[in-house]
Structure 1
Amino acid sequence: MRAVVQRVKRANVTVDNKVIGEINHGILLLLGVEGNDDAKDLEYMCDKVPNLRIFEDENGKMNKSLLDVGGSLLIISQFTLLGDARKGRRPSFTEAAQPDKAIPMYTKFISSMKEKNIFTQEGEFGADMQVELVNDGPVTILLDSKKGF
């Protein structure tokens, strides 16, 4: 699994001119599922994202997690995170999981965050979404469950 983690002051996602998910202080998470991802990859992301220390403590150091600050989470499925643009000029998405595999992993991730009592909103899998955010910092972190970077 791959993710782009963005610390935000606020974020929302719109489908067909209707806001379907909206948060204030927290994380906007773009999440991509790879074809060979398994339960271990899901477990890694479910632990890493809410515990990632990217929020400032009383000394201005990034030392607190989403759980520590009681922040919210907006999760957007994004298969394009698995795009490979090393050859040619058009990315290849062959490494991205097909919907029959990606949707269950995406929904299990969302369920896991809700079980941790994180206020969680989500986009619509496969929809044409518009995402707006105010990146706080800016802070943007890349995650890969296979630790490819």
Structure 2
Amino acid sequence: MAEDLNVIQGTKEEQYKELLPQIFALIDGEEDVVANLANIAGALTQQFKWLWTGFYLVKKDELVLGPFQGPIACTRIRKGKGVCGKAWEEQKTFVVPDVNAFPGHIACSSASNSEIVVPIFKDGIVAGVLDIDSEDLNTFDTIDQKYLELLVQKILL
């Protein structure tokens, strides 16, 4: 079955308001986590054209690379390390305007300059993170945080 994404113009908030229902419709009724994460990463990348959009899933004592769009990435991240590991450890979203100023940043790609990492919860525990990188500084803000946090609430890991 072919799926088409309606790419939206307008403010960032308008884009999210139109995009999220499309993503929810795309993943509704699909039980395969990998398929859903892959389509979410694809839809976000198609809409916003970020450098890297993807998921890391908690497996034992590490975050392990999951479905993503963009250049190759770090495969494993320890708890508390880098932005992803900090989001996991502190169980909160991190918006990083300049990754070079973030203590302990893990440079999976030298092209990344700003980042947002949103934890995904299952039964009150972080089960993974949505990680998005941009080539530009100051790409992410409270609008991204609001809508990406809404998005990950729909992800069933």
TM exceeding 0.5? no
* TM superposition score normalised by structure 1: 0.26
Higher relative contact order (CA 8 A, sep 6+): 1
More helix by share: 2
* TM superposition score normalised by structure 2: 0.25
